[in-house]
Amino acid sequence: MSAEIWTTRRLLEWTADYFKNRGLEGPRLEAELLLACALGTNRVGLYLKYDEIPSDAQRARFRELVKRRAAGEPAAYLIGHKDFYSLDFEVNADVLIPRPETETIVLEAVEYLRGRAKDSGESAPRVLDIGTGSGALAVAIAKNVPAARLTAVDISAAALENARKNAQTHGVAGRIDFRHSDLFAAVAPEEKFTLIVSNPPYVSRAEYESLDISVRNYEPRIALLSGEKGTEIVERILAAAPEHLEPEGRILIEISPMIAEASLELLKTSPFGHFKIINDYAGRKRVISAVFG
Ligand SMILES: C[S@@+](CC[C@H](N)C(=O)[O-])C[C@H]1O[C@@H](n2cnc3c(N)ncnc32)[C@H](O)[C@@H]1O
């Protein structure tokens, strides 16, 4: 990068090409996110500095980020942020990076809770988020359904710390009760919910070994790996959920297309009815939905 005049524009062009040649998805966006971080601005700010020449220190910072990204480290961990459902979430290596396909659950949850408020006058729905991670689901639902009160559990204390911070940032901490818990262990039998949501670990051992290194080497194993089959945690959630749902309460669990059939089989022998699979924005089988009773 020496003889050229390295304006913001050229740095972006060069890096987007470099990432593209290395097979990264969304190379231009990733270049923009990293450069914005190195320059202490946002993506809009980059375009205001498009023909300016960043300082040596800023370029050195950017080079370091580009090197780490090219070695596999996810951009979200490098910059410490990820957008989810149009909200900015702080993330670190203790939590799974929220994925766009997980927004499918938020869309369903918000529509369901608003519908119940209209149809049955449900004024203060109670929602349980199992495996909250960064708090993505709990915070997005709380933000969009102001009357909802939530409980969010995770087996990782470090993840809960991150989730609490995100809830505070978005002004919903007062409505989310975060608990350190192995699934329902810290949820009393008498606690009943209108809706249970979860994006649990659902990767089988074989699939885990074949994951991209940017996932396998950087994201928490406990957030991804379920067991030999991939359905182990879904099965535990479905077995315990009836005890914690109000009559006609609903459950929404994220799955992968690989375990869709097996998950439907589990539902057929459960006390749930009206079950179906909801596709994500890319048309992939992504969420199981069922109603209790
Ligand atoms: C796939 S991540 C989902 C994180 C977040 N809800 C999201 O959608 O981005 C799964 C989360 O479940 C948590 N987890 C794994 N096993 C658990 C268990 N037995 N009980 C509670 N949480 C668990 C992990 O720590 C991780 O935060």
Band of pLDDT at residue 76, cut at 50, 70 and 90: very high
**Span 271-280, average pLDDT:** 96
Q: What is the number of residues in the chain?
A: 293
pLDDT confidence of residue 11: 97
- 212-269 pLDDT, tens digit per residue, is 999 999 999 999 999 999 999 999 999 999 999 999 999 999 999 999 999 999 999 9
Work out which ligand 1 atom sits closest to the CA atom of 98.
9
pLDDT confidence of residue 4: 84
- 102-111 pLDDT, tens digit per residue, is 999 999 999 9
Give the start-end residues of each E strand in the chain.
81-84, 87-90, 126-130, 149-154, 176-180, 193-198, 203-204, 225-227, 245-254, 272-279, 285-292
Domain boundaries, the chain: 8-71, 94-292
From ligand 1's centre to the CA of 68, what distance in Å?
26
**Span 76-98, average pLDDT:** 98
State which of 155, 181, 198 you would mutate to test the pocket of ligand 1, scoring each by most atoms of that ligand within 8 A of its C-beta.
Answer: 155
pLDDT confidence of residue 2: 55
pLDDT confidence of residue 186: 98
pLDDT confidence of residue 122: 76
Q: Is the pLDDT of residue 120 over 90?
A: no
Burial of 85 (0-12, 13-18, 19+ CB in 10 A): buried
In this prediction the pTM is 0.95
CATH 3.40.50.150 for domain 94-292, yes or no, is yes
Strands 149-154 and 126-130: parallel
Ligand 1, CB within 6 Å, residue ranges = 95-96, 98, 102, 131-134, 136-137, 153-156, 159, 182-183, 199-201, 222-223
Q: Measure the CA–CA gap between 38 and 34, rounded to whole angstroms.
A: 6
